[in-house]
Structure 1
Amino acid sequence: MVYAIVFFLGKQLKLIENKYVYVPHLHEDLGKNIFLNKVFLFYKNGYSQIGTPFLKNINVQVEILQHLKGNKIIIFKKKRRKGYKIKNGFRPLFTKIKVISFLQKE
């Protein structure tokens, strides 16, 4: 098993090779390959590398597969005994990415 923990768009993600992950919306074209270079941890065959704070010799190549909307999130505000009620909602945007490979520089 090969995986990496990466810092991406303000979140820490565990990326496994040939698996799909939903991340916050990216303004990139479908099918485009991008490289993530902020890797905290890299694990391969029982051997792990930990960065301080990032590993300089590891990049993760991901492909953008799809842009989609998530489930509706409801925001309900109320102040008791005042007659104040407001109900709003929105559907967050996500991007589905697939991990292609982990590139190690020597």
Structure 2
Amino acid sequence: MYAVIKTGGKQYKVSAGGKLKVESLPVEVGGAVEIKDVLMVADGDNVKIGAPFVAGASVKATVVSHGRGDKVMIFKMRRRKHYRKTQGHRQNYTELRIEGISA
């Protein structure tokens, strides 16, 4: 059984027992999260697709950790104008462990 959820403006395919890194959530480590924005639930041949969300479906998860992703370098340059700018960015994330999917 798996589901497609939406969180942080992105879509993720999740199944029970899996781990997932999503955009930072304001929940403490060890806290429970219930995601109700479920776009699709599939259990073998039984597939439910929402319009836009599946009614009554939710995904329960536990927060494992918070962290910061790898550094992404941003480099801007204008040729022949003697302009160069370098900047780095590290995005915050929350790691979730999927406990169960209810359809």
Q: Could you tell me which residue of structure 1 aligns to residue 94 of structure 2?
A: 95
Could you tell me the TM-score, scaled by structure 2's length? 0.94
Deviation at 1:103, TM superposition (A): 2.1
Q: Give the unaligned 5+ runs of structure 2.
A: none
Shift in Å at residue 10 of structure 1? 1.1
Partner of 2:27 in structure 1? Answer: 28
Report the count of equivalent residues. Answer: 103
Q: Which residue of 2 aligns with 1:48?
A: 47
CA distance in 1, matches of 2:27, 2:56: 25
- Alpha-carbon distance in 2 for matches of 1:92, 1:7: 18
Q: Distance in 2 between matches of 1:40 and 1:87?
A: 39
| Runs of 4+ displaced beyond 2 Å | none
Q: Are the aligned partners of 2:61 and 2:100 in contact in 1 as well (CA < 8 Å)?
A: yes
What residue identity is the alignment partner of 1:31? G
What residue ranges of structure 1 are gaps of 5+ in the alignment? none
What pairs with 1:1-106 in structure 2 (closer than 5 Å)? 2-104=1-103
Aligned-pair distance for 1:46?
A: 2.3
Contact 2:7 2:23 in 1 (8 A): no
